[in-house]
Amino acid sequence: MNEKDIIIGYTTGVFDLFHVGHLNLLRKAKALCDRLIVGVTTDELVAYKNKRAVIPFHERMEIVHSIDYVDTVVPQEDMDKMKAWDKLKFDIMFVGDDWHATEKWEGYETEFKQKGVKIVYLPYTKTTSSTLINEVLLKLRDNTL
């Protein structure tokens, strides 16, 4: 296989409190590309959601890097996916289907189409999320569960 024949995929996430939803996303993404690059959101950028990661950035990077489906891990220091493309030149951008048909991602679809990049919306695992895990942990700490 020539270097130019390799399909490079890219996805991003906080990957805090790593769970099966994260694993599902990475597994499905890797099945659709030859090389999967994963951007892990820095602690500073997590603040865009007005949240804080429980697991420190360097540990989240190490966890994601250890997953067999992941070929390369990079810090996500900016929410601008076009800046990431300028740097990484991926062919496919993977994102959870909870973003499908949103104004933000419709804009990215238009921009990426001009670059020949396909956006693939992967099914969101509805049974678990870091937000749900955090809510359960808070209830357990408060003895309200």
**pLDDT at residue number 110:** 93
Establish whether 28 is a catalytic residue: no
What's the predicted TM-score (pTM) here? 0.86
User: What is the CATH architecture of 6-141?
Assistant: 3-Layer(aba) Sandwich (3.40)
**pLDDT at residue number 1:** 52
Establish whether 118 is a catalytic residue: no
The answer on pLDDT for 2 being more than 80 is no
Residue of 49, 87, 113, 139 with catalytic role = 49
SS3 assignment, position 20:
helix
Query: What b/e sequence results for 33-61 when a residue is b if at least 16 CB atoms lie within 10 Å of its CB, and e otherwise?
Result: beebbbbbbbeebbeeeeeebebebeebb
Residue of 51, 87, 89, 139 with catalytic role = 51
SS3 assignment, position 39:
strand
Share of the chain above pLDDT 90, in %: 63
pLDDT band at residue 102, thresholds of 50, 70 and 90?
confident
- Domain map (residue ranges) of the chain: 6-141
pLDDT band at residue 47, thresholds of 50, 70 and 90?
confident
Mean pLDDT score, 83-101: 93
Tokens at residue 117, please? Answer: 């990049």
